Structure 1
Amino acid sequence: MKQWWRRWTYEVPLAISDALWEVLVVQLAALLDRLTVRKVIAFIPVVILVLAYYHRIPIPPELMLIGDFLAYIDIFSVLILLGVMGRVTTILFVVKQSAARIALLAGRVVAHAQRLDVRHRRQRGAPTRPRRKPDQPIDGRAYGGVWDQVRVA
């Protein structure tokens, strides 16, 4: 009974307190050491979104706009850090050139499709060779009537 009492009054609470110390003090201190201003700014919109979707707390639109503004600042800071802002003109030039090429290609395809004129084939005019009526036997030909009403049997 003494071992059981020692285990549940001494060893188990010490194990729980060691685990809490590890999580709440040691790992939290390591997280705070790795924390930067950029990470804090990136986390603010997440907090605002969580509060906005928690329907019991009304959030004014100004606070939502601040969260959007901070998110855009984060995006632009990443672009500046990557050095893309210096190459924006080059990227825009490539995009404009590719859009112009696609428009030119689409115009050529449409013009070629109109020259083919596959939809209105019979409206062009008379056929090049006259159509022949199939030969009918002499007994089946019309006799006297315009619309073949009277036939000789």
Structure 2
Amino acid sequence: MKHWWRRWTYEVPLAIGDALWEVLVVQLAALLDRVTVRKVIAFIPVVILIAAYYHSIPIPPELMLVGDFLAYIDIFSVLFLVGVLSRITTILFVVRQASERIVSLAGSLVGRMQRRDARHRRQRGAPARPRQPDQSEDDRAYGSMWGQAALA
């Protein structure tokens, strides 16, 4: 008798609770993960048609137009996405052209600039650097700036 009482007051309610948790929480959450707004919208015309045939009443034209509109949402969304993609490709084309122009401008600037080094010597007819006047013995000892400052 004690085993029977324990089974019906403890084990059976726990088993029912576990089954309800599995169906109402776990499986419902898995179903809601798979359901999207697009699937819900696509299912609305089916519900309208089933209700109309089940009651054997004529469907008002407004409901038919709603069903058609919901069916055409896919087409409208595809056209919208194509429009957005064409704008994106145009923007990418302009950015690519701008980057090519910047690279060519930088290349031409680097090509125009010449560095002064051993490879680029002066021409033979070019004037030489102006010569410094001869320094006195004091200027050589203390530096040329000291001597020029004393003269001034």
Please confirm whether the aligned pair reaches a TM-score higher than 0.5, indicating the same fold.
no
TM-score range relative to shorter protein: 0.3 to 0.5
Give the number of the structure whose alpha-carbon radius of gyration is greater. 2
Greater percentage in helix: 2
